[in-house]
Amino acid sequence: MISQILMIISLISIWSSLAMALIILMSAVHFWFKHSDFDVDTSPLPEYPMITVVVPAHNEDVVIAQTAKAILDMNYPHDKVEVILFADNCEDNTYQEMQKVKALPQYADRDLTLIDRTGTGGKAGVLNDALKMAKGDYICVYDADAMPERNALYFLVQKVMEDPERHVAAFGRNKTRNANQNFLTRCINQEIVVTQRIQHVGMWHLGKIGRIPGTNFIINTEFVKSIGGWRNGALTEDTDISFKIMQSGKLIALAHNSEAFQQEPETLKSYYLQRKRWAKGNYEVVIANFKHLFGRGNWRVKWEVFYYACTFFWFNAAIVLSDILFFSNLIALIIGLFKPGVQIPFAFDTNNVYMAQLLLFNWFLMILLYLLQISISQATQHGQATVRQIWIALLSYFTYTQLFIIVSISSISSVIMDKILRRDGTKWVKTKRFAG
């Protein structure tokens, strides 16, 4: 009886996650059908608000010069852009690289400030320091490895100006600049493309739900001050402030044409440490906001809490459970070939309708949806839709995507132990950068 209940829970959970993913996929497809033309409007805006561009950099001497130049070269009136580069507790030559950029003659008349910071609070602490000194109507944030496309800032401003009262923030899309480095970066690139061009687009088109990413976004300066700024020490300050914005009833608008090119981890260790930090931060934000799921409040907050809770808790647990059931039955079947009489541990009845068959069907459904998401997302991006990408996707499903389960289990275990032992779980692990 218990085994049957476990099987039914596993099946319902996986089918629910597949249904949710399919709805978001259809929403994204509808969006791209409406925005599939190649005519990009870069006509002059009615007004150009003052923008303060902030770049938090911690030991980023390998990439900071390229990023700073890309920001200074963006297509936005130079007298309307203030750039603040923070060398945050650096132990390398990040600050010196910033000074070299500032000394270039083409930037002599630019409003460029360099800060050799020794404060606390991590990235959130840097952003709060910038908030105190920002002259701009909006604060724009780029990570040190995120090189914005020339019109990235223009499109962000264009989006918020559509409805400045409701659109207190706008976010663009991020692309992998080192996608062809190795198999890991190719897999990460596929994940980023699906996340940016399916999940984010689908959620915005479906319910005007946006999420502040870590980079390539702008947010109204006075609004940030009104909500108390960023939470110092937050592992995922972007997710944390996204919930604050939604609780206020305001919108985080998608500027789908705004793009930045960021560097992704090139080793498994760097990948694991980065994604564990992200997962821990998201767990902490979801737990902190879980109370909003049952009380009165903005429905977008409720949806986001439900979505994150399902993704990180319910669906992930269901996948682990289904894998255990499937492999238990598979092992029993193999043993039964040599030792007749071995019983299948998870079966609905004695008529040989085995759970393994249903779970195998589930696997095919998940693989099909995974490939469909990747194929559609790549079809919306120039140069991505190739046969090679399909083969990479198939291989990554059985290798790369399984790392998410490991990261999730490790992260939730770490969060629980932080609570039990009352230890500081906000230690920031630096993502290693690479030249090029």
What would the pLDDT profile of 50-91 be if each residue is shown by its tens digit? 999 999 999 999 999 999 999 999 999 999 999 999 999 999
Residue 143's nearest CA partner among 212, 60, 235, 56 is 56
From CA 425, how far away is CA 234, in angstroms rounded? 10
From CA 429, how far away is CA 422, in angstroms rounded? 19
Which pLDDT value is given to residue 287?
Answer: 79
Which pLDDT value is given to residue 290?
Answer: 79
Decide if pLDDT at 112 tops 70.
yes
Average pLDDT in the chain: 84
Decide if pLDDT at 237 tops 80.
no
Tell me the mean pLDDT in the region 248-277: 91
Kindly report the number of other CB atoms within 10 A of residue 203's CB atom: 21
Alpha helices in 152-264 (DSSP H): 152-160, 183-194, 201-207, 221-226, 237-247
Tell me the mean pLDDT in the region 324-339: 77
Q: What is the pLDDT of residues 154-202, one digit of tens each?
A: 999 999 999 999 999 999 998 888 888 899 999 999 989 888 889 899 9
Q: How confident is the model at residue 317 (pLDDT cuts 50, 70, 90)?
A: low
Decide if pLDDT at 141 tops 90.
yes
From CA 407, how far away is CA 319, in angstroms rounded? 14
Which pLDDT value is given to residue 425?
Answer: 53
Its pTM stands at: 0.84
Tell me the mean pLDDT in the region 243-261: 92
Decide if pLDDT at 351 tops 50.
no
Picking from 132-141, 340-349, 367-376, 393-402, which range would have the lowest pLDDT averaged per residue? 340-349
From CA 112, how far away is CA 269, in angstroms rounded? 35
Tell me the mean pLDDT in the region 391-401: 87
Between 297 and 131, residue with greater pLDDT: 131
* Contact status, residue 319 vs residue 406, Cβ threshold 8 Å: no
Tell me the mean pLDDT in the region 90-113: 95
What long-range pairs does 179-184 form, CB within 8 A, spacing at least 24?
179/264, 181/266, 181/434, 182/266, 183/392, 183/395, 184/265, 184/266, 184/267, 184/268, 184/271, 184/400
Decide if pLDDT at 424 tops 50.
yes
Picking from 205-219, 254-268, 375-389, which range would have the lowest pLDDT averaged per residue? 375-389
What distances in angstroms separate CA 117 from CA 59, 62, 87, 103, 114, one per listed residue? 12, 18, 6, 20, 9
* Buried b / exposed e along 393-413 (16+ C-beta atoms within 10 A): beebbeebbebbeebbeebbe
112: its two tokens: 């460029």
DSSP state for residue 143 in the 8-state scheme: -
Residue 251's nearest CA partner among 165, 137, 154, 161 is 165
Tell me the mean pLDDT in the region 315-327: 68
Decide if pLDDT at 252 tops 70.
yes
Q: What is the pLDDT of residues 1-59, one digit of tens each?
A: 566 676 677 677 777 778 888 899 999 999 998 887 666 778 899 999 999 999 999 99
